[in-house]
Every structure is written in structure tokens, then in C-alpha cells.
Amino acid sequence: MPDPVLQVEDLSISFTTGETTFDVVRDLSVTLDGGRTLAVVGESGSGKTITGRAIMRLLPRGAGARGRIVVAGRDMLAADERELRRARGADVAMVFQDSMSALSPYLDIGAHIAQAVRLHDPSVSRRAARARGVEMLERVGIPEPADAVRRFPHEFSGGMRQRAVIAMALVNRPALLIADEPTTALDVTVQAQILALLRELQQEYGMAMLLISHDFGVVASAADDVLVLYAGREAEYGSLRDVFEAPAHPYTAGLRAATPRLDARLDTGGERTRLRAIPGAPTSLRDAGPGCAFAPRCGLAGQVGERCVVEVPLRSRRTSGTTGGAHRAACHLDRLPSSGEIAR
């Protein structure tokens, strides 16, 4: 069996402000094979985007990572700046959340893609690099690509800019693509087109994809496996089918219950039942107590005594997945009630 494209072992990410240092991601371990998509799901502040940036070694000032990150056989945390420049774009590329801010307003679209080509192969001429740009724009479905390469980002719609960013990320055919909320602020039709495009290119190139999202609808249409993060820790990990059909962590069950559904049951008055929101606010990572971070918002906390508020599950336990694969949940409960209340 070939080695996984991505191996993350005991990853912790910390921020230092003044004399205070606190972890925003703790003890995260995942693997991802070529041709598969792992969706990372959670509320804002759960650690999704910062994990993607840590894989790229693009952490902001004051942040640091410890543990091990291996992409296509390259140890990213041990790599020097020269190795990182070689890896970014060739081994691993990233589609950032805001396509407008990811593109320079001073460069046309062709220059963006040509720059990505020539940074990794200076022997390629500017003309040949721009020709590659035309090919990639055509590949991602931008009409009249020979004309489009001369346009500037502000001349593109949001969907076209997102396609251009995808073209720039994939022009060197990386082994791993990190897509950070790639459909944010796009209407549902364009969103479906972008997701279909990513799946098509993934199959064509055989690359692994780390999809960062808060939208379970996007995850359901694109992922093979799902990693649920809460307060910087793994809450649940498993196949898409296991996590959706048999969530094993109260937080995952809460997210699923808060997702709008077309087949939602009507009440006796003919109105659709209201969504069940998870009460409270996400736990402050600075003020997290010694127990499970989700305990203050969990309606099942206390069913195993005081363990929920005084003890964090040291390792995610393995549960029996419906697909026969690994299904982990960081919860003290052996199983969730089939119809129990999961939020206070």
C-alpha cells in the first residue's frame, strides 16, 4: 500500500500574546490517502482554518506548531524555507476562503497562474507559462480563456474568481489540495458547480483533498470521511456515512440537528418544525476548564458522573462503524441515546 499523502500526528498549535501562551489545536492526528476527501467541520473558532494553515506552514506571527506533519513524504515542520517554497504549490496547495483577497488587484489572471508555474520551474518561459494559464482556465470552465487571462480579478464574478483560484492552485498538480470554505458567499447553483469541478479534478489528478467547511450540506456532497473539531480537539472522526447516520458525539449530533432539511417533519399546524440550535457560545480556549470543552453546552453531561467536567478523554475511543472502518468519538458515553436531548 502507498504511504498516505497527508500524515498529521499529535499536532498542537499555540498562540502567544504577551506573556500568555495557549493552545488553539490540541493533539490532532489524521491521515489522508490520494483520491480521498477529508472534510473538517466545526463552528467558527474550532481550529479548522488554522489547521490547514499549519499544514502549509503559513501560521501568523505569534503562532507555533508542534508534532508532525508529513505531506507527500516531506516533513513540513522540519523543512527550511527553501524546502517550503518547493513544497507549496507543488506538493500542497490551498484554495483560500476569500478568492478576492487571494488575488492581487495589480496582476491579471494570467500573471497569477504564470507566476505559480515559473516559481517551481524557472526554465519555463513567460509565454509558455501564460499558455499553461489558458489551458488551466479552460480546464476549470472559464469561457473564452484566451481573453480571460488578460482580465483582472475585479472583472470576474465571485464564481469565476473562485475558478481562477482553483486553476492557480492546481496548475502544478499538487498531491494535496486544502480547500478552505471554497463555496463561501456563492449562490447555491455556483456552489454546486464549484464542488462538482473539485470532484472532477480530484479524480483526474488523483490528489487528496482536505475540505474545510461549516456547512453539512457541502460536506455531504463532497466528503469521503469527516473530522469534527470542537475547541481545537477532535470530537469525532469517521466515514461520511457513519458520522451522518450514527453520530457518536453530542456535538456532532447537535450540528446535524441544526442543519436545515427539506424533508423536515411538519407539525400539527402544517408548519415545519423549528431547527434545534446548540445553546450557548463556543468555549473560550483561554478559559477552558479541565474537562470536556463541550460539557457546558451538552444535555448529556453528568450521565457518567463528574467525568465530563473534570476529565478530557485522553484518546478518542474506537466505535463500531457501519462501514467497518474506524469511527472515533471523544466522549465518555458509550453511546448516545437514539432520541435523547443532547443540548441544555
Region of residue 47 (left: phi > 0; alpha: psi -120 to 50; beta: else): left
Say if 338 falls within a structural domain.
Answer: no
- Sorting pLDDT into bands at 50, 70 and 90, what band is 339? very low
> What's the pLDDT score for residue 326?
79
Which residue, 167, 191, 223, sits at the end of a domain? 223
- The whole-number average pLDDT for the span 311-318 is 66
Say if 344 falls within a structural domain.
Answer: no
Give the angle 38-292-224 at the CA atoms, nearest 5°. Answer: 10
Total domains present in the chain: 2
Count of CB atoms situated within 10 Å of the CB of 196: 13
Say if 162 falls within a structural domain.
Answer: yes
- The whole-number average pLDDT for the span 319-335 is 75
More confident residue, 298 or 92: 92
Q: Is the pLDDT of residue 266 over 60?
A: no
- Sorting pLDDT into bands at 50, 70 and 90, what band is 179? very high
Q: Is the pLDDT of residue 284 over 80?
A: no
> What's the pLDDT score for residue 68?
97
Q: Is the pLDDT of residue 153 over 90?
A: yes
What is d(CA 108, CA 134) in angstroms, rounded to the nearest whole number?
A: 12
Domain match, 296 and 176 both: no
State pLDDT tens for residues 113-137: 999 999 999 999 999 999 999 999 9
Percent of the chain with pLDDT over 90: 58
> What's the pLDDT score for residue 197?
92
Domain match, 301 and 164 both: no
> What's the pLDDT score for residue 200?
92
Say if 240 falls within a structural domain.
Answer: no
> What's the pLDDT score for residue 57?
95
> What's the pLDDT score for residue 55?
97
* Residue 297 CA: distances (Å) to CA of 117, 262, 263, 334, 344: 48, 27, 27, 19, 6
Domain match, 18 and 106 both: yes
- The whole-number average pLDDT for the span 99-106 is 87
Domain match, 34 and 96 both: yes
Q: Structural domain of residue 39, as residue ranges?
A: 6-223
Domain match, 68 and 166 both: yes
Cell of 93: 496547495
Say if 216 falls within a structural domain.
Answer: yes
The pTM (predicted TM-score) of the whole model is: 0.90
Domain match, 34 and 149 both: yes
Say if 340 falls within a structural domain.
Answer: no
State pLDDT tens for residues 248-265: 899 999 888 887 766 665
Say if 99 falls within a structural domain.
Answer: yes
Q: Is the pLDDT of residue 315 over 80?
A: no
CATH number at residue 96: 3.40.50.300
Spell out the residues 6+ positions from residue 39 whose beta carbon is closer than 8 angstroms to its own.
Answer: 211, 212, 213, 218, 219, 222, 223, 225, 226, 227, 240
Domain match, 194 and 132 both: yes
* Residue 280 CA: distances (Å) to CA of 250, 277, 284, 298, 343: 14, 9, 12, 10, 9
> What's the pLDDT score for residue 256?
86
User: CB of 258 within 8 A of CB of 339?
Assistant: no
Say if 94 falls within a structural domain.
Answer: yes
